[in-house]
Amino acid sequence: MSEGVVFDLGYAPHEGERLGRPGALRALYRDGLRKVLGLRRRARSKVFPWMLLGIAVLPALFFIAFGILAGNLADNLAEATFFSHSRYFEMTGVIGLIFVALASSELLVPDRVHGVMAVYASRPLSMVDYLAGRAASLGTVVFAFMEIPHLVLFFGRAWVSDGGFGSYVVENVSVLWETSLASLLYFVMYAALGFLVASFASRPAIAAGVLVGVVSISGPATDALVSTGTFRVAGLLALQHHPGYVKDWIMGDDVRRWIPEAAGFGPTASLAAIVVIAALSAAVVVRRYRSLR
Amino acid sequence: MTTPAFAADATIEVRAVSKWFGQKVAVSDVSCSFGPGVTGLLGPNGAGKTTLLRMVCGLLEPSDGEVLVLGENLRRRPGGYRNLALVPEEDAVYGFLTTREFVRYAAVLSGLGGAAEADAAIEAVELQDAADRPISGFSKGMRQRAKVAAALVGSPGVLILDEPLNGTDPVQRARLIALFRRLGDEGHTVVVSSHVLAEVERTAGRVLAIVDGKLAAAGDVAAIRRAMTNIPYRVRIEVEDPRRLAAALAGDEDVSSIGVDGRLLHVETTDLPALGRRLPAAARSLDLTVRLFEPEDESLESVFRYLVRRR
Amino acid sequence: MDGPIITTSGLQFAYGDIVALAGVDLEVPPGRVGLVGANGAGKTTLLKLLLGILPPAAGSIGVLGRPVPGDLLGVRSRVGFMPESDCLPPDQTAADFVAYAAELAGLPVRAARQRASDVLTLVGLHEERFRYLKEFSTGMLQRAKLAQAIVHDPDLVLLDEPTAGLDPEGREEMLGLVIRLEEYGIHSVLSSHVLTDIERTCDWVVMLDGGRVLRSGPLIELSAADEAALEVLGDPDPVVAGLEAAGATVTVDGNAMTVRHQGADVFAVVRDVLADTGAGIRRLGPHRTTLEDIFMAGADGDV
């Protein structure tokens, strides 16, 4: 006798594990990474992030290629570098700012504008969880984008170094944590402002533009004020200069004239400024999001 | 000659109207008319109902055919539009105006009345207590009523309402339905387009259904149902002992199917009124009491379902 | 799930000066619950309080036996929400977003993807699920919204105007889905202005008015078993006369009449009078007070 069977394709309850808040936070973090890097989205959204990373890494690659081709001259060249790690920040800092501007608005604005906050509101996540998760995603990528060029430069140098790869690394390993720390500070400064602007803007492009605009103008504007001699305090509003000033302090370098320095403040003042601005921004952002309900 | 698609004393005539957008035919050779009273316009989303409505209002030019309002093609003589008012689905109000200002503004635009008519319109929708508050503070239901008031000002002959009850709460719905019916009784041509069929049934005496761009049915709901002769009526009957009743009904030639479900009989018959007439005596002779006799597919919802599914 | 799915005691909330809830006491049993009320009566506020989106100004809340906001995360893991407003990102596919919604509720990645797939089939989204949400029609969006609300197999789902913008076929399917959720062990709270939807779908109704509970009880209580609602074919007058002669009280409303009889089974009396007069039944059943009747009697409209 032949047999047949029909499977009941009805609803099956979920019997498996439930990860609660930690699972939700991880999912939020992964989603943030995808948003920022344009993964699992249309090709268009991948272009910008990867292009920026490419631009940031290019000088380092160029330098290494040059070093390899120059061969025997490597010894002198390794010393006569046309840019140091410290100076590289002049570029990676800008890349970081642009990236934070675009990414923070990409992370915060669409969720608000399209009402997706309602979905988060019915999930085991608090408002602070959401904001912290977004900040973590942003931080991971920004930090990576700012630090990878340094890594490329560092290991590239090690490779073409006269004394050999291993010894170069051992001698100069402090460079790695110095640049990491500095990149982190750049991130904190820019991300705080980026989130601040993004929590009020209604369009990502506007938020990004406002951030880049304000930060860029803060330099010349405060410079002018400080130069007059009477508004020295304005030196604390030179937003773009604070991370740079502290970076020079960490790395023991002096890449350019820093406005807070010119205004008579020490690098610790800049460090404090970064921390205070970050804390204030965080408070405002949390308050803003709480009022959205 | 009038057929159900055409109203007596028609105020709006739709003559062989078609509309296409590129390759897509949204409305295909529709002929019908609207007259005094309330007519419901129904159709699935994307079936051409909204397109037809816009052509009736003059917002769109037909690709073929013409629409006449009170005998005139209004796209050639826009002056006639003052006798036609539209309550669109979209939020079409200026938030910074108060109700009174908004309705008076509409009155000025249509040239149909002044402050007194505006106030009367506001009272008709029961917004008089909120007449001097800005519309931006209103709930969706109140904004909807403000739009209706603006359309009512000066009592236009033709009133076209696209989802007028959107966002309104149950009390407001009931009152607005009563308002539309009254306007229909007073002789206005009221066309209501809505997806909530139970309410269309209460508001409109006559309905037109657009499916896939064509006119699928027209007339009053019971008559449309009767016209679906290939679909037997379904009715639920409750008696203490359904199987005995089932046995009695099984001999009836009109009855095409009987189902037993607890105390209920589900009966399909091609002649529902005949069953309704036979049943009391039949039940008495079997010493059974009928507690429920409920037609299941006479409603506009059922009729509509049949219209849409037969494609 | 035994025990009430929702309990509130003395619940209050105000937006500044405007009082939204002025002391709400509820004990709602498992099942499909309708939530009705005039605009501004407090429905949306109540939903937000149940989800812990807003903190109560006073009073206590229990959802599925857990306190809100005491066990907020626990509650949110077991409750789903289908908002009235848009909540879907246009630049993601339905499959993608619903899986993400499941992960956000705590499901492991693989389970989330599996459940998303199952639930999308359940709500009737097939090949469309791989298209971007920006291309979805209203009906499809509502389904996707429902999908994200139930993807994590909640015990309770809150639906705010789930049939808004849907055409008649869509409404019917949506309400059918809500009814089926009960079979899957998912209770629901359905907030809607369309009372006929509630009457069709729910077995318990909570009516709010001016921030208070006007009524909270089973829907069937609304039928009176000893009153008959009758519509006859043809002229009702002989029938009315016959019924009154048989000792019944008849209230006529157009073509319909409500019949009451003190001493006898009113349906038997109706049957006999109809048989004697030869009139045909158009419709017969217990007189049902509709939700609308209750509303009009007890509630004030908003101003």
- Tens of pLDDT, residue by residue over C113-150, are 989 999 998 898 988 899 999 999 988 999 999 999 99
Interface B:C, Cβ pairs < 8 A? 132
pLDDT (0 to 100) of residue B144: 86
Q: Rounded to an integer, what distance in angstroms lies between the CA atom of residue B259 and that of residue C114?
A: 40
CATH 3.10.20.30 fits B230-296, yes or no: no
Minimal C-alpha gap between C47 and chain A (Å): 11
The candidate with the shortest Cα–Cα distance to A266, out of A237, A245, A244, is: A245
Chains B and A touching, counted as 3 or more CB pairs less than 8 Å apart:
no
How much is the ipTM here? 0.83
Q: Rounded to an integer, what distance in angstroms lies between the CA atom of residue C147 and that of residue A264?
A: 60
Minimal C-alpha gap between C81 and chain A (Å): 6
Q: Which residues of C touch A18 (CB under 8 A)?
A: 77, 105-107, 152
Which are the contacts of B36, defined by CB distance < 8 A and separation ≥ 6?
B7, B9, B11, B184, B187, B188, B189
Residue A3 falls within a domain, yes or no?
Answer: no
Q: Has residue C80 got a pLDDT over 50? A: yes
Q: Which of C72, C83, C105 sits opposite A24 (nearest CB)?
A: C105
- Provide the CATH number for the domain formed by B12-219 in this structure: 3.40.50.300
Minimal C-alpha gap between B85 and chain C (Å): 23
Q: Rounded to an integer, what distance in angstroms lies between the CA atom of residue B249 and that of residue B231?
A: 19
Q: Is C86 helix (H, G, I), strand (E, B) or coil?
A: coil
The candidate with the shortest Cα–Cα distance to A289, out of A133, A185, A138, A136, is: A133
Q: Rounded to an integer, what distance in angstroms lies between the CA atom of residue C102 and that of residue C94?
A: 12
Domain count of the fold of chain A: 1
Q: What is the CA radius of gyration of chain C?
A: 23
Q: Which of B42, B198, B295 sits opposite C196 (nearest CB)?
A: B198
Q: Is B41 helix (H, G, I), strand (E, B) or coil?
A: strand
Residues of A with CB under 8 A from a CB of C: 10-14, 16-21, 23-24, 26-28, 31, 40-42, 45, 110-111, 114-126, 293
Which helix H or strand E contains A238, and what residues bound it?
Answer: none
Strands B12-21 and B64-69 come out as: antiparallel
Q: Is C153 helix (H, G, I), strand (E, B) or coil?
A: coil
pLDDT along chain A (293 residues), means of 10: 68 79 93 86 74 80 71 53 73 85 90 93 92 94 87 80 76 83 90 91 83 83 76 75 81 77 78 89 92 80
pLDDT (0 to 100) of residue C159: 96
pLDDT (0 to 100) of residue A60: 76
pLDDT (0 to 100) of residue A76: 55
pLDDT band at residue C303 under the 50/70/90 scheme: very low
Q: Which two tokens stand for residue B249?
A: 């009904």
Amino acid symbol at A28: L
Cβ within 8 Å, pair C89-A28: no
Q: Please write the tens of the pLDDT for every residue from B275-304.
A: 999 999 999 999 999 999 999 988 888 888
Residues of chain B falling short of pLDDT 70: 1-2, 310-311
pLDDT (0 to 100) of residue B265: 93
Q: Which two tokens stand for residue C203?
A: 């077995």
B200 and chain C in contact, CB less than 8 A: no
Q: Which of C38, C164, C278 sits opposite B169 (nearest CB)?
A: C38
pLDDT band at residue C221 under the 50/70/90 scheme: low
Which are the contacts of B179, defined by CB distance < 8 A and separation ≥ 6?
B124, B125, B148
Q: Rounded to an integer, what distance in angstroms lies between the CA atom of residue B59 and that of residue B311?
A: 29
| Residue-number span of the structural domain to which A273 is assigned | 21-290
Contacts with C, B 272-301, CB within 8 Å: 273-274, 276-281, 283-284, 289-295, 301
Length of chain C: 303
pLDDT (0 to 100) of residue A80: 53
C170 touches C146 (CB < 8 A): no
Give the residue on A whose Cα is nearest the Cα of C81.
A122
Which are the contacts of C114, defined by CB distance < 8 A and separation ≥ 6?
none
DSSP A5: -
Q: Please write the tens of the pLDDT for every residue from C228-280.
A: 999 999 889 999 999 999 999 999 887 789 999 988 899 999 999 999 999 99
Q: Which of A27, A111, A122 sits opposite C103 (nearest CB)?
A: A27
B192 touches B165 (CB < 8 A): no
> Region C62-84: what's the mean pLDDT?
91
Q: Which two tokens stand for residue B111?
A: 């040239």
Q: Rounded to an integer, what distance in angstroms lies between the CA atom of residue A118 and that of residue B38?
A: 40
Residue A10 falls within a domain, yes or no?
Answer: no
B40 beta partners = B192, B207
Cβ within 8 Å, pair C172-B305: yes
Interface residue of B143, B168, B195 to substitute, partner C, most C CBs within 10 Å = B195
Give the residue on A whose Cα is nearest the Cα of C48.
A293
Residue A254 falls within a domain, yes or no?
Answer: yes
Domain ranges of chain B: 12-219, 230-296
Q: Which two tokens stand for residue A157?
A: 């140098």
Q: How much of chain C exceeds pLDDT 90, in percent?
A: 56
pLDDT (0 to 100) of residue C302: 42
Cβ within 8 Å, pair A121-C152: no
